Structure formats: structure tokens, C-alpha cells
């Protein structure tokens, strides 16, 4: 006997980075109703904060623009920013999801004219610059923000600054009495694309990220290289603003380490190889990049990129995991260790150290639906439920350390699975 | 070549890694080393020895039996545990170092007169006699290990400290005759003999 059951046909996508956007768009372009929720004030996630992609060295703004174009041209996706999932209950075909909507204090009237930012005096650390720069407390996350609306930092609500912002707005876009809201929605299938976060480099004690100004992370280096970043695209080191021409890249900063992240983060080798291009482009033959590595893990066709970097005389490779960093009197980081090709002890001075930090799944620290199965690193492996009953799928870097390309593939696969779920559950389903 | 060593060579032929895995304490971890070099770089005594842990592990895998077992590197370990703490694969490096030292000592391949080895030997001989460490006799044995003249020199250079210890009642000169001992010396020695028997069996020295 079979029976029709009333269900929700909506697909919920959690996370609006490159993976979540892709999953939402793929499903929506197949005609499904999609709700895309994002915790931050804009879509784009960590991808939008990169300067360039490997291996083609193109700019993420380009890919972002294509995706935003698709999004604007599609009626099936509803985007909810500043929204977090509090709780998921129910079964596939019939999930109830409790969402928390944080107030943006800016409504859809906003034209991104920027008058509110001029009026506000308070400055906050800019999270979209990894806190390397300050921004006014009324700000646009970044140039590719979606929705293209300003946001007020909650810290100024109730102060004179907030009133100034409201007074400056010509479009009645600022609503200072917006409140946090809890809403419940129905969904038939869920794609979980919460992505990753850079591993907290301060936990790698011998590298002194929290003690030495000139030890930075790879994601911060992306911001330094970016013309819209805190240094206007110049590779200047934080301690004294000197040009950083002699840069050390330390691989496996946190990855492949039982004391930190036990998995290989997979992208960091390519990321550092890519970043040697930034150094070379900035300083030509005066550039000096040194990559300290255990193994260079570049996969399949990306090997070509590695071979090209090897040809570059400004880039050298040292097979050694750096044991510790100390700072000399001039503020230069000095790297200590023993190399594996000859077992030579070295103490090498550089202008700047870039830690190729590992990818930690964002699933650590947020509440997940109960039936989600995680691996020992916290990446989504699958479902606790038997095959054919599950309705929540991981996508992108929430499932494994993936680069943008593979994240998109993974998201497309997850979208297809979610579509199958709403197909099956909304029509006829065998009674078990 | 000692008899135990000859037997070991005959048993394992050229498979030194397997020999280490079976006979050296925590030796089964050696193959887990991924040659990152953090142990070598973190070792406070690193520049004092010929072979860093990571290099020793590679030598074991490469079958360099003679070089490994005659190395003085594992005898230089002071058990600070920096390497264990930092090893990304959690190899018990300090323990492996001690295991290698112990094994090379049993096969009589360890460097002769290596100070740590001598100290350990003297300590052990002192301890098993009465079941208690006789610090006075132990110090004297260490001072005189390199001959009578050097022993007198050592004594003279340390006399201030010795007198201070006597004054503070941390050193009893009467320990020179007999000294304190545990109640059942025979029992202790039987226990140690049994432990040795079990260890020999476990490590494959006897069947």
C-alpha cells in the first residue's frame, strides 16, 4: 500500500558561502523552492574574502558576480542573511526549522549610498578584514555584498551615533527598533553548507602568532594582497610597515597534527604556492619566498601549478616543519628547525612569516541536527539514519577540506540529493 | 660481537625495522614518523648529538643497524619530553630513545664509556645491592669511574658541596660502612631477576 503524504517541498540551505550559494542556485534552477540562510550580513562567505583563486589566478569577485547574477534572476530562492538555525526537528519531507533573525537595523530601502557611515563616528574591528582594519560601525561588509545593504553594529544601538546614522539616511532605511526574531519554517530537505574557519593560529604556541606582529596567517595575507584590503594591496609587514620582500610560508600550521587538527587541510599547499605569485608580482626579482613543508600535497592537475612555481628562482622549498619562531631585536622573525634533506640545523631570518593555517569545520561550535554524522575532525560524513530515510546533506567545506572548485562540485551533488528527497516525499512514498 | 647481538643479526637478517618493532620498547611507533623534523628542532640538546630522533627513525627504516645501535644520540636524551609534546603524530619519542639505548646496551653495542650509560650502570649496581640507593657510595663510584687521579680531582672540586650536604644533614658519612638497606634484600633481588626473565622473554632474547 502506498499513500500520499502532505509535505513541504522547500529545500533549506544553511550557509551562504560558495557551497551554499551553489546548492541553493542549482536546486532553484531546477524549479525547487529554496530558502538560503546565512549567519553574516552578506553572502559570499570566506571565498569573497580571498584575493585570487588558484590555479587560474582569477579574482573571486568574478565568480561571485556570476552567482549573484543567477540569484537575482531567479524567483525560487529566498535569501535570509543574519539568520542562524537554532533547531531542526521532524523527518525528511517534513522538517520544522527554528531560525533566529538578528536585527540588521537597516531595511530594504537602503541604496548603499554610504551617508550613514559618514555620520557615525564609532569604529569597530572589521570582521570582513579578519579584524586587521577598522571600519565605521555603520558599514557595508564588502564591495560584493549581497544584499547590497549597510548594516549597523549592535554596539552603537541606543547611542547618539545610531541617531546620527538615522538622521543622515535620506531613504528611511534605518530602523533602530528592529528586534531579534525567532521564526519557524518548514522544509522537505536540508543542505548543510556551513563551511570552515581558519584554525586559531595562537594555539600553535611555538610559532608565536599571538606574540609576534610579523607572524600572520594565510587568510590575513590574502587581505594584505588585496587592493581593497587594509594595506591597499601592498605587502607591508604589520610591525613597522616595511615592505616584506623575504617571506616564509609555513605549511601544516595546525593541520596533520594530532595536537591541533588531525586532518590534512588539503588546500594550504596550493594556497601558499599561489601566494608566492603575490610576492613575485609585488617585488619582481627582489622577491624571496621560502616554503617550509612536510610534503607538498597538490592534487591531480594542480601539479602543473606546483611545477611552474618550482621553476621560479625567487621561490625556494625547505623540507622541514619549523620547530619554533623567535623574534630578533629588529622585529624580524627567525625560524628554527632541522631540515629533512640532510638534517641541517637552521636559524633563518625572514621579514614576514605566513602560517598556512588549516581548515577547521565550522560545525565545531554550532548546534547541529541530531542525525548528522561527523568524522573525527568534525566534518560532516553523512547521516546516522539508515540510507533512504535521511534528508539532511552536507555540502562544501562543511564535509571535508575542499577548495572552491571541489566545494562547488560537492554542493551540486548535495542539491541533487535534496531535490530527490522533495521529489519522493512530496508525491508518493511507500509505507514502511 | 656479543652472543645476543649475533643471535639478533641471525634472526632478523636485514630487517632492522622489524627487529626494532619487536624488541625495542615502543619500537612499533617508528614507522609512523613522517619526517617533519619538529622533534629535532624542539630538542634542547639538539646540536649536541650526531643523530636527531627523526634521523634515527629514518636510519632504522633504511636498515642502518650498526650506525643506529652504536650511536650516542639516544644516550643524550634528558627526558624533557618536548618532542613527545610537539610530535604531530604523537610518537612516544622519548620512550623510543630510551628503548633504543636499552637495547643497544643489552647487545653491548652502545658506545663504551658513554657518560649517561656509565651513570645508569653505576646507579643500577648501587641500587640492586641493598634495594636502596646509597648516595655516598654512588657519588664516589661516579667520581672514580675514570680512574684514581681523576677521582681525587673530582672529590676536591666537589668538597664544598659535600661538606654543605653533611652540615644540612642531607649526606651521612657513616653510609660508607654498609649503609641503609631494605628489609628483604633477597626478596628484592628475586623480584628483579623475575622481571628480567619476563622482559627477556617478551623482547625475544629467550624463548
Distance of CA B73 to the CA centre of its chain: 11
Same domain, A297 and A222: yes
Cβ-proximal residues to A420 (8 Å cutoff; 6+ apart), any chain: none
Calculate how close chain B gets to A201, using CA atoms only, in Å. Answer: 15
For the four alpha carbons of A384, A386, A392 and A398, in that order, the dihedral sign comes to: positive
The domain boundary residue, chosen from B72, B106, B140 = B106
The domain boundary residue, chosen from A358, A393, A415 = A358
Calculate how close chain A gets to B83, using CA atoms only, in Å. Answer: 10
User: What is residue A5's predicted lDDT score, i.e. its pLDDT?
Assistant: 45
The domain boundary residue, chosen from A176, A208, A241 = A176
- Asked if A282 contacts A351 with a C-beta cutoff of 8 angstroms, the reply is no
Interatomic CA distance for residues A229 and A179, integer angstroms = 32
The domain boundary residue, chosen from B74, B106, B138 = B106
Same domain, A286 and A423: no
Same domain, B45 and B7: yes
Residues A300, A301, A306, A308, Cα dihedral to 10°: 160
Structural Rg of chain B based on CA atoms: 20
Burial (CB < 10 A; 0-12, 13-18, 19+), residue A221, is buried
- Asked if A207 contacts A253 with a C-beta cutoff of 8 angstroms, the reply is yes
Same domain, A56 and A163: no
Nearest by Cα to A47 from A192, A219, A199, A298: A219
- Asked if A187 contacts A213 with a C-beta cutoff of 8 angstroms, the reply is no
pLDDT at B72 over 70: yes
The domain boundary residue, chosen from B69, B84, B106 = B106
Interatomic CA distance for residues B61 and A355, integer angstroms = 31
User: What is residue A4's predicted lDDT score, i.e. its pLDDT?
Assistant: 42
- Asked if A224 contacts A231 with a C-beta cutoff of 8 angstroms, the reply is yes
Could you tell me if B89 lies within 8 Å of chain A, comparing CB atoms? yes
Same domain, B20 and B48: yes
Interatomic CA distance for residues A412 and A28, integer angstroms = 11
**Number of domains composing chain B:** 2
State the CATH number of the domain containing residue A285.
3.50.50.60
Calculate how close chain A gets to B35, using CA atoms only, in Å. Answer: 7
pLDDT class of B179 with cuts at 50, 70, 90 = confident
- Asked if A380 contacts A399 with a C-beta cutoff of 8 angstroms, the reply is yes
Same domain, A161 and A209: no
**Number of domains composing chain A:** 3
Instruction: Determine, for residues A320 and B42 on separate chains, whether the beta-carbon distance falls below 8 Å.
Output: no
Same domain, B121 and B40: no
**Judged by CB atoms within 8 Å, which residues 111-170 of B form the interface with A?**
none
Same domain, B67 and B29: yes
Nearest residue of chain A to residue B54 (CA atoms):
A340
Nearest residue of chain B to residue A322 (CA atoms):
B38
User: Contacts of residue A291 in chain B, CB cutoff 8 Å?
Assistant: none
Same domain, A352 and A222: yes
Same domain, B74 and B127: no
Identify from A338, A344, A356, A377 which residue to disrupt to test chain B contact, counting B C-beta atoms within 10 A and taking the largest count: A338
- Asked if A276 contacts A289 with a C-beta cutoff of 8 angstroms, the reply is yes
Distance of CA A289 to the CA centre of its chain: 25
- Asked if A337 contacts B37 with a C-beta cutoff of 8 angstroms, the reply is yes
Instruction: Determine, for residues B40 and A343 on separate chains, whether the beta-carbon distance falls below 8 Å.
Output: yes
Nearest by Cα to A17 from A421, A396, A368: A396
User: What is residue B14's predicted lDDT score, i.e. its pLDDT?
Assistant: 84
User: What is residue A6's predicted lDDT score, i.e. its pLDDT?
Assistant: 45
Same domain, B7 and B102: yes
Nearest by Cα to A15 from A79, A108, A103, A66: A79
Measured at the CA of A134, the angle between CA A128 and CA A140, to 5 degrees, comes to: 50
pLDDT at B160 over 80: yes
State the CATH number of the domain containing residue B95.
1.10.1060.10
Interatomic CA distance for residues A283 and A247, integer angstroms = 11
User: What is residue A365's predicted lDDT score, i.e. its pLDDT?
Assistant: 77
Nearest residue of chain A to residue B51 (CA atoms):
A343
Residue-level pLDDT, tens digit, chain A, 432 residues: 344 444 588 999 999 999 999 999 999 999 999 999 999 999 999 999 999 999 999 999 998 999 999 999 999 999 999 999 999 999 999 999 999 999 999 999 999 999 999 999 999 999 999 999 999 999 999 999 999 999 999 999 999 999 999 999 999 999 999 999 999 999 999 999 999 999 999 999 999 999 999 999 999 999 999 999 999 999 999 999 999 999 999 999 999 999 999 999 999 999 999 999 999 999 999 999 999 999 999 988 899 999 999 999 999 999 999 999 999 999 999 999 999 999 999 999 999 999 999 999 998 878 899 889 999 999 999 999 988 899 999 999 999 999 999 999 999 999 999 999 998 887 655 444
Range(s) of the domain holding residue B127: 115-203
Could you tell me if B82 lies within 8 Å of chain A, comparing CB atoms? no
- Asked if B18 contacts B29 with a C-beta cutoff of 8 angstroms, the reply is no
Identify from A261, A340, A344, A376 which residue to disrupt to test chain B contact, counting B C-beta atoms within 10 A and taking the largest count: A340
Could you tell me if B34 lies within 8 Å of chain A, comparing CB atoms? yes
Same domain, A190 and A136: no
Return the half-sphere exposure (C-beta side, CA atoms, 13 A cut-off) of residue A8.
Answer: 22
Interatomic CA distance for residues B190 and A362, integer angstroms = 59
Burial (CB < 10 A; 0-12, 13-18, 19+), residue A292, is buried
Cβ-proximal residues to A150 (8 Å cutoff; 6+ apart), any chain: A106, A110, A112, A114, A116, A117, A138, A139, A140, A173
3-state secondary structure of A251: strand
User: What is residue B204's predicted lDDT score, i.e. its pLDDT?
Assistant: 81
The domain boundary residue, chosen from A358, A378, A402 = A358
Could you tell me if B36 lies within 8 Å of chain A, comparing CB atoms? yes
User: Contacts of residue B52 in chain A, CB cutoff 8 Å?
Assistant: 338, 343
User: What is residue B4's predicted lDDT score, i.e. its pLDDT?
Assistant: 87
User: What is residue B162's predicted lDDT score, i.e. its pLDDT?
Assistant: 92
Which three three-digit cell numbers place residue B71? 650511536
- Mean predicted lDDT score pLDDT of chain B: 93
Mean pLDDT, rounded, for B141-170: 94
Residues of A in CB contact (< 8 Å) with B are 206, 252, 256-260, 294-295, 319-324, 336-340, 343, 345
Going from the C-alpha of B31 to that of each of A416, B21, B60, B91, B165, the distances in angstroms are: 43, 9, 9, 10, 48
The pTM is what? 0.91
Range(s) of the domain holding residue A187: 1-102+180-195+362-432
User: Contacts of residue A337 in chain B, CB cutoff 8 Å?
Assistant: 37-38, 40-41
Same domain, B12 and B100: yes
The β-bridge partners of A334 are A326, A349
User: What is residue A412's predicted lDDT score, i.e. its pLDDT?
Assistant: 98
User: Contacts of residue A323 in chain B, CB cutoff 8 Å?
Assistant: 37-38, 40-42, 86
Calculate how close chain A gets to B107, using CA atoms only, in Å. Answer: 28
Amino acid at each position: 500500500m502506498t499513500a500520499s503524504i502532505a509535505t513541504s517541498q522547500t529545500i533549506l540551505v544553511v550557509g551562504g558561502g560558495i557551497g551554499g550559494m551553489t546548492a541553493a542556485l542549482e536546486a532553484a534552477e531546477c524549479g525547487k523552492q529554496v530558502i538560503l540562510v546565512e549567519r553574516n550580513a552578506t553572502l559570499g562567505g570566506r571565498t569573497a574574502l580571498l584575493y585570487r583563486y588558484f590555479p587560474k589566478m582569477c579574482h573571486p569577485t568574478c565568480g561571485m558576480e556570476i552567482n549573484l547574477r543567477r540569484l537575482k534572476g531567479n524567483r525560487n530562492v529566498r535569501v535570509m542573511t543574519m539568520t542562524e538555525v537554532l533547531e531542526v526537528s521532524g523527518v525528511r519531507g517534513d522538517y520544522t526549522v527554528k531560525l533566529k533573525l538578528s536585527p540588521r537595523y537597516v531595511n530594504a530601502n537602503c541604496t548603499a549610498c554610504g551617508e550613514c557611515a559618514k555620520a557615525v563616528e564609532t569604529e569597530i574591528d572589521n570582521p570582513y578584514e579578519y579584524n586587521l582594519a577598522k571600519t565605521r560601525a555603520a558599514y557595508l561588509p564588502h564591495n560584493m555584498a549581497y544584499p547590497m545593504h549597510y548594516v549597523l553594529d549592535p554596539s552603537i544601538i541606543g547611542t547618539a551615533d545610531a541617531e546620527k546614522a538615522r538622521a543622515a539616511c535620506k531613504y528611511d532605511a534605518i530602523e533602530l527598533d528592529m528586534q531579534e526574531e525567532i521564526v519557524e519554517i518548514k522544509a522537505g530537505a536540508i543542505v548543510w553548507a556551513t563551511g570552515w574557519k581558519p584554525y586559531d593560529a595562537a594555539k600553535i604556541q611555538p610559532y608565536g602568532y599571538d606574540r609576534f606582529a610579523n607572524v600572520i596567517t594565510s587568510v590575513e595575507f590574502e587581505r594584505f594582497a588585496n587592493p581593497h584590503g587594509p594595506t591597499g594591496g601592498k605587502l607591508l609587514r604589520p610591525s613597522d610597515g616595511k615592505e616584506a620582500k623575504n617571506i616564509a610560508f609555513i605549511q601544516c600550521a595546525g593541520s596533520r597534527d594530532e595536537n591541533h587538527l588531525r586532518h590534512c587541510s588539503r588546500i594550504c599547499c596550493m594556497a601558499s604556492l599561489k601566494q608566492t605569485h603575490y610576492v613575485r608580482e609585488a617585488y619582481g626579482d627582489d622577491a624571496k619566498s621560502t616554503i617550509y613543508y612536510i610534503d607538498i600535497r597538490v592534487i591531480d592537475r594542480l601539479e602543473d601549478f606546483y611545477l611552474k612555481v618550482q621553476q621560479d628562482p625567487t621561490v625556494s622549498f625547505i623540507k622541514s616543519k619549523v620547530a619554533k619562531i623567535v623574534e630578533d631585536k629588529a622585529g624580524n622573525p627567525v625560524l628554527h628547525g632541522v631540515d629533512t634533506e640532510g638534517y641541517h640545523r637552521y636559524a633563518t631570518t625572514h621579514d614576514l612569516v605566513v602560517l598556512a593555517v588549516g581548515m577547521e569545520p565550522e560545525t565545531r561550535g554550532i548546534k547541529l541536527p541530531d542525525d548528522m554524522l561527523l568524522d573525527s575532525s568534525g566534518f560532516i560524513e553523512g547521516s546516522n539514519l539508515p540510507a533512504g530515510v535521511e534528508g539532511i546533506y552536507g555540502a562544501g567545506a562543511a564535509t571535508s577540506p575542499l577548495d572552491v572548485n571541489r566545494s562547488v562540485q560537492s554542493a551540486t551533488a548535495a542539491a541533487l540529493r535534496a531535490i530527490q528527497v522533495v521529489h519522493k516525499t512530496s508525491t508518493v512514498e511507500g509505507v514502511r | 660481537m656479543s652472543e645476543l647481538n649475533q643471535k639478533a643479526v641471525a634472526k632478523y637478517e636485514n630487517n632492522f625495522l622489524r627487529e626494532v618493532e619487536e624488541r625495542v620498547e615502543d619500537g612499533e611507533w617508528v614507522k609512523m614518523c613522517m619526517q617533519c623534523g619538529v622533534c629535532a628542532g624542539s630538542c634542547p640538546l639538539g646540536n649536541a648529538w650526531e643523530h636527531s630522533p627523526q634521523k634515527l627513525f629514518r636510519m632504522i627504516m633504511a636498515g642502518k643497524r650498526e650506525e643506529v645501535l652504536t650511536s650516542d644520540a639516544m644516550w643524550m636524551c634528558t627526558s624533557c619530553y618536548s618532542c613527545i609534546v610537539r610530535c604531530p603524530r604523537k610518537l612516544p619519542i622519548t620512550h623510543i630513545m630510551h628503548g633504543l639505548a636499552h637495547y643497544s646496551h643489552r647487545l653491548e653495542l652502545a658506545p663504551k664509556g658513554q657518560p649517561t650509560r656509565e651513570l645508569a650502570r653505576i646507579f643500577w649496581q648501587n641500587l640492586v645491592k641493598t634495594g636502596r640507593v646509597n648516595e655516598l657510595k654512588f657519588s664516589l663510584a661516579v667520581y672514580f669511574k675514570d680512574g684514581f687521579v681523576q677521582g681525587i680531582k673530582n672529590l676536591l672540586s666537589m668538597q664544598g658541596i659535600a661538606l654543605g650536604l653533611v652540615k644540612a644533614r642531607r649526606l651521612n658519612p657513616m653510609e660508607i660502612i654498609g649503609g641503609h638497606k631494605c628489609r628483604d634484600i633477597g626478596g628484592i633481588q628475586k623480584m628483579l631477576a623475575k622481571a628480567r626473565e619476563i622482559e627477556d622473554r617478551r623482547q625475544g632474547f629467550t624463548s
